[in-house]
Amino acid sequence: MDDLNGTINPRCLGDRPLTMEVINYLSVNVFGITLYTILTFMTLVSITVFLDMCAYIYKKVPYPKKTNIIWVIGAAPVISTMCCLGLWIPRATMFADMTANSYFAIVIYKFLILLFEECGGEEAFLRYSEKKTIKVSTGPCCCCCPCLPPVSITRRLLFLLKLGSLQYAILKTVFSIFSIALWANGNFDISTLSIYGTALWINLFVGVLTIIGLWPIGIMFMHVRKTLRTLKIMSKYAMYQLVFVLSQLQAAIINILAVNGVIACSPPFSSVARGSTFSQQLMIVELFVITLVTRMLYRRIYEPVNLDPHENDNEMNVKISLCPNSVEEHTA
């Protein structure tokens, strides 16, 4: 804004800058080029750590559990890579964001399946939970409805839980492709929050799908959190939730602030472009830390999990076999 005549710099009203404009801007900005270099280095380290974990898990963990783990641990590195791509190619931000969001939608489903796998698989979970119930008054859907009665654990219930998360993984990807098609036709603008714009209604509908998709994981986690405490499931769940908050809620809040002009324009970056850049820079740093923590949680010795049906506890009880003769010694 020009303080003398009250006019807006025309460059603040333009589209996102091209890559060469970003490079020219950084060439005369020592702090900027240093920051971009550090963030790019962090992204490369995250990718390296992820590949190292993939190689370890591929060798140490049996199928299909290893595929679910690889999908889950890839959330932070993949989103960080997309943020770095959007940082250097601002006009690809929407494509990078939708790719990252579609990937994380699949991660939500894979994390639910991983909870079953950590219990020894669906059959083992059903075998030792056939006479037990599960609490459904959990977040994010029904945390305010404690009056909801517990539900018996059946094969049908597990199917509904998986379906709840799977629908989000599929529909989120479908709506991302649909949004790109609308954007190419000039009918989708993520910076427009008007009730007459398609972006608002698509995002609201996807928000409802997100809540439905997260609910089964909340139900399952609350049921097995004590059972799998020796596997550090609470820390793993916290990392998964943190990635969701940073990639979805934090990015949405910054975008809303940028659209409303709270984040000032700084040519060649408009307010919206600068908001996206600020969000990407934050997430790269945050996801770098999460990647390192995730490595400590998942790079471990994967011992078989034995569920004992004779334990008199409200929750399933788990035993980690440290050696082949441990059970025999205990019974002796």
- Sign of the Cα torsion 168, 169, 175, 179 reads positive
DSSP string of 149-212?
PPEE--HHHHHHHHHHHHHHHHHHHHHHHHHHHHHHTT---TT---TTSHHHHHHHHHHHHHHH
Give Dmax (Cα) for the chain. Answer: 90
Flag whether pLDDT at 263 surpasses 90: no
Reported confidence tier of residue 317, pLDDT bands at 50, 70, 90? very low
Rounded mean pLDDT of 4-29?
A: 74
Whether the per-residue pLDDT at 304 is higher than 60: the answer is no
| Model pLDDT, residue 46 | 95
Own/partner long-range contacts of 182-186 (Cβ < 8 Å, ≥24 apart): 183/94
pLDDT given for residue 227 in this prediction = 81
The pLDDT of 55-66, averaged and rounded, is 88
pLDDT digits (tens, 9 = 90+) for 98-119: 899 999 999 999 999 999 888 8
Supply the pTM of this predicted model: 0.84
Give the mean pLDDT of 275-282.
91
Tell me: the pLDDT tens digits for 182-211?
Answer: 888 878 777 676 777 788 888 888 888 998
261-269 long-range Cβ contacts below 8 angstroms, 24+ apart: 265/8, 265/9, 265/11, 265/12, 267/9, 267/11, 267/12, 268/11, 268/14, 268/17, 268/21, 268/22, 268/25, 269/16, 269/17, 269/90
- Mean pLDDT over all residues of the chain? 82
